[in-house]
Amino acid sequence: MDALEAIRRRRSVRRYTGDPIPREDLEKIVDAGRLAASGNNRQPWDFIVVTDRAMIDRLKVAAGWMDKAGAIIAVVLDPSSRWWLEDGSAAVENMLIASTALGYGSCWLEGYTLPREEEFKALLGVPEGKRLLTLVPLGVPAEWPTVEKKPLEAVIHWEKY
């Protein structure tokens, strides 16, 4: 699947079969994250790949449907870096696209993660002073949702707004 096709196909997938994800695929997905653009090339990120069922069970308080995820990637940023939010977001989107290209479903889980940030940081051993931006559950998809997107003509402007 080429990049444009993966971008078009990517959707937030919240149902998984429960099948495991091979380590080399998880490495490819994190590799896509760490290759993202970042302000001043600071790369202020770390990625914690969780495959342990007991830990997934603890993280799923954020969203019960993560139960059958093959892995959850926790995205950790250094907030002393000026563009940490933008940098982290670029890394997350790269990982969503890469997981789509490899045939996995994934979801950006920031809204459900932030209220439990301190709890999850403690569980995952994230150092004081770092931020947990989001969890990214990944899995073999049990469904592939269709979500309406604004049409190109509604958002594209040529030369002026």
Ligand X SMILES: Cc1cc2nc3c(=O)[nH]c(=O)nc-3n(C[C@H](O)[C@H](O)[C@H](O)COP(=O)(O)O)c2cc1C
Q: Compose the 18-57 pattern: x for residues touching ligand X by CB under 6 A, - for all others.
A: ----------------------------------------
Pick the binder of ligand X from 16, 45, 108, 120 (CB under 6 A): 108
Instruction: Decide: 81 and 103 in contact? Cβ < 8 Å.
Output: no
Pick the binder of ligand X from 111, 115, 143, 144 (CB under 6 A): 111
Cβ distance to ligand X smaller for residue 12 or 27: 12
Residues 128-147, interacting with ligand X (CB under 6 A): 145, 147
- Mark out the alpha helices in the chain (DSSP H runs): 3-9, 23-34, 53-59, 84-101, 110-113, 117-124, 152-155
**Starting at the edge strand that comes first in sequence, how are the strands of the sheet with 71-77 ordered?**
45-50, 71-77, 131-139, 105-106
Give the binding site for ligand X (CB under 6 A). 11-12, 14, 107-112, 145, 147
